Amino acid sequence: MNIVETQNYIVHTCLENVKHLLGRNITIHKEPRGPRQPDFILTLPGHPNLKFIGECKTNIATREQANHAMFQARANASPNAQVIVFTRWIPEAVAQEFREHRVFFADTVGNAYLWHPPQFVVDIRGHRPEAKPGPEPGRIVEVAGLKICHLLLTQPEMLRKPLRAIAQEAQVALGTAHAVMHELMAARWILPGKNDERRLADPKALIDAFVRGYALKLRPACLIGRYRHRNTDAGAILKALRNRIVHEGAGIPGMGWAVTGGLAARELTQHLETDNVTMFVDEPTEQLIRQETMLPDKNGNVTLLRLFAPNAIGRIAPEGIPLATPLLVYAELLNEGGPRELETAQMIFEKEIAPEARFDRGTA
C-alpha cells in the first residue's frame, strides 16, 4: 500500500473499532489534507453532538512523535475541542502520554482510550500486533533524507532549483538526492508544478517525517558529545563560548555555529529558562570551543552537535547569536522532553511552524 492507502486503511479500521466499542452511529468527515487542517473530523450524535478533531499517523513509536501529534491536533482545534489520534499501533509508553494529556486514541489492533463520562469510559490496553512494526523503508527518514526534508521545509524556494543545487545545499550526494526526491514524489508530498518546477504538496507529512527522524537518526548522527563547563549559568556559558569563537576565530570565514534547544527557544518565545547550552558547530568552531575548560560528562551542561549544513542556521538573535531554524529548535525541545520544554515546543509549533506551512511556498 502507498501512504494514502495506508492512512485510509488506518482511519477505516480504527473507526470500526470505535463504533464497536461505543455501539453508536458515528460519522466521520475526511478533510482535504493540509498543514492547518485535521486529517478527519469524527462526530458522535447526542445532545449536543460530540465532535472530535482527528489526526492519523502511520506510526507513533516515541514520546517525541506522541507530543508532536498532540501539538498538531490541537493546532487544528478550538481551545475546548477534544482531539483523537488514529494509528496502526500505540505502544504503552505512548498511550500513557496520551492518557495523561486527555488525548483520545484508537489503533488498528484494538487499543483505545475514550474518556467522556458519563456518556462513555473506554480504556483498553495490552493489545499488540502480531509482528512489531519494523523501520519504514526508503531514504526519507535516513540522515540524508532528513537533511533534504529540513532544507525543503525551511527554504521551499529550493524546489525551483535543479536537483544538483538541492544536493549541494543539503550537503548530500547527487545520487542520494535523486533517490530521496523520487520517494517524496512517489509519496505525493512533492508534486510537479508549472514549467517543470516542483511544489510542496504536503508539508504536514514532511514535518511529521522530520520530527520522527530527528531523534532516531539525525541527532545521533550529529552528536559530538556532552560536556561539563565550569560555569553553571547557561547565559554565562554561552557568553564564554561566543567570546572564544569570536576572538580566537577571527581568521575563520563564515558563521559555523548555531544555538538550539532551550536557549534558542528562550530567544524565540521569551518563555523558557534553561541550565544547558546545546549548539550546532562545524569542525573549526568545535576546535575553538574545545579550548574552553570542559570535561566530557554524559550529564553535562553543554551539548555539541555537528552542523550538518549551513541551512541549519536560521535567524541572528541580539548580540550576534545565531539560532538554529525553528524546526530544529522544536525537534530538540521534543527530544529534551521536560514539561517546560514541551510547553515551549507547543508555542514554537503554533507560532513558527504551523503558520509557516499554511500555504504552498514552493510556488510563491
Of 169, 187, 218, the residue at which a domain comes to its end is 218
Q: Count helices and strands (H / E) in the chain.
A: 13, 16
Sign of torsion over alpha carbons 339, 353, 147, 290 = negative
Residues 214 and 245 in one domain: no
Q: Average pLDDT of 335-363? A: 76
Residues 7 and 104 in one domain: yes
The model's confidence at residue 260, banded by pLDDT at 50, 70 and 90, is very high
Angle between helices 203-213 and 63-75 (to 10 degrees): 160
Nearest Cα neighbor of 70 from 361, 354, 352 is: 354
CB atoms within 10 A of CB 114: 20
Residues 327 and 244 in one domain: yes
Element (H, E) at 83: strand 82-87
Residues 238 and 250 in one domain: yes
Q: What is the CATH number of the domain that holds 158?
A: 1.10.10.10
Residue range(s) defining the domain that contains residue 180: 143-218
Print burial letters for 126-161: b (CB count within 10 Å at least 16), e (below 16): eeeeeeeeeeeebbbbbbbbbbbbbbbbbbbebbbe
At 363 the pLDDT is 37
Does a structural domain hold residue 206?
yes
Q: Which residue do the cell numbers 518546477 mark? A: 197
Query: 89 versus 81: which is more confidently predicted?
Result: 89
Query: 293 versus 88: which is more confidently predicted?
Result: 88
At 108 the pLDDT is 95
Residues 204 and 317 in one domain: no
Residues 229 and 299 in one domain: yes
Does a structural domain hold residue 131?
no
- Could you give the C-alpha distances from 8 to 108, 215, 222, in angstroms and in order? 12, 27, 35
CB atoms within 10 A of CB 336: 19
Of 218, 235, 261, the residue at which a domain comes to its end is 218
Residues 197 and 320 in one domain: no
Counted domains in the chain: 3
Residues 235 and 324 in one domain: yes
Residues 317 and 268 in one domain: yes
Element (H, E) at 184: helix 174-186
Does a structural domain hold residue 137?
no
32, pLDDT greater than 80: no
The model's confidence at residue 264, banded by pLDDT at 50, 70 and 90, is very high
Instruction: Report the chain's mean pLDDT, rounded to a whole number.
Output: 87
Q: Average pLDDT of 61-87? A: 86
Q: Average pLDDT of 232-249? A: 87
160: helix, strand or coil = helix
Residues 206 and 259 in one domain: no
Residues 151 and 238 in one domain: no
Give percent of the chain above pLDDT 90.
54
* Nearby residues of 212 by Cβ (< 8 Å), 6 or more positions away: 59, 62, 64, 65, 141
Does a structural domain hold residue 363?
no
At 357 the pLDDT is 47
Q: How far apart are CA 260 and CA 254, in angstroms?
A: 18
Q: What is the CATH number of the domain that holds 36?
A: 3.40.1350
The grid coordinates listed for 360 are: 504552498
β partners of residue 130? none
Q: Average pLDDT of 250-271? A: 82
At 258 the pLDDT is 95
Q: Which residue do the cell numbers 548580540 mark? A: 319
Residues 245 and 307 in one domain: yes
Nearest Cα neighbor of 354 from 219, 208, 228 is: 208
Does a structural domain hold residue 233?
yes
40-44 and 50-57: which strand pairing? antiparallel
How many whole angstroms from its chain centre is CA 152?
14
DSSP single-letter state for residue 47: S
Of 171, 191, 218, the residue at which a domain comes to its end is 218
The amino acid that residue 317 corresponds to is A
Does a structural domain hold residue 358?
no
Q: How far apart are CA 240 and CA 292, in angstroms?
A: 8
Q: What is the CATH number of the domain that holds 347?
A: 3.30.460.40
pLDDT in tens, 99-132: 998 999 999 999 999 998 888 899 999 999 887 6
Does a structural domain hold residue 134?
no
At 249 the pLDDT is 63
Does a structural domain hold residue 339?
yes
3-state per-residue secondary structure call for 60-74: CCCHHHHHHHHHHHH
315: helix, strand or coil = strand
Phi and psi, residue 130, nearest 5°:
-60, -40
Q: Average pLDDT of 238-246? A: 90
Element (H, E) at 146: helix 143-154
